[in-house]
Amino acid sequence: MPARRARSAPVAGEALTLIVKNRRAGFDYALGDKFEGGLVLLGSEVKALRAGRVDLTDAFASVTRGEVWLEQMNVPALPQAAAFPHDARRARKVLLNKHEIERIQKETSRGGYTLVPTQLYFKGGRVKVELALAKGKKKVDKREDIAAKTARREAREAVRGGRGGKG
């Protein structure tokens, strides 16, 4: 019987390689608790992610029969994987602990909360997704965010102008 090679465990300070960040989620939702989970993917999907071909804009996660599924994430098939292509918008399983799934299910069933992906990244050679419990923002909340962002930008510009430099 051949010897099994031990898996290398991720090191505490290991660097993350960001694949994509869902900036729209922070604008459309008030983000709450965040969870990190692994994704169950096909080989051609991993290759597409390494090439940066993914879109999280319409993606969301749901709990079905005690499992978390990431839905509507668009991972277009690569031309090199034409022999065995994958469905670009198929549901992908997210690997989380049982107590995390129960907590997510309790929060989402209570109403008003949804589970949205905020970013995808590689950690220890594995694809991880960061999911956040989110509550939808009203138009007024979005206007307040835009006003606060504008005020911060103007303050930074004023400080730069006071120094006499562009740095």
pLDDT digits (tens, 9 = 90+) for 117-150: 999 999 988 999 999 998 887 777 778 878 888 8
Q: How does pLDDT run across 15-68, given as a tens digit for each residue?
A: 788 888 888 888 888 888 899 999 998 888 888 888 888 888 888 899 999 899
**Domain segments of the chain as ranges:** 17-136, 138-167
* Among 59, 53, 68, 60, CA closest to 20: 53
Where does residue 43 fall: left (phi above 0), alpha (psi -120 to 50 degrees), or beta otherwise?
alpha
pLDDT above 90 for 87: no
Length of the chain: 167
pTM check: above 0.85: no
Q: How many Cβ atoms from other residues are within 10 Å of residue 101's Cβ?
A: 18
Six token digits for residue 119: 């970013």
- Percent of the chain's residues with pLDDT above 90: 24
Q: What is the pLDDT of residue 1?
A: 45
β-pairing, 29-39 vs 126-136, is: antiparallel
Between residues 160 and 88, the one the model is more confident about:
160
> What class is the 17-136 domain?
mainly beta
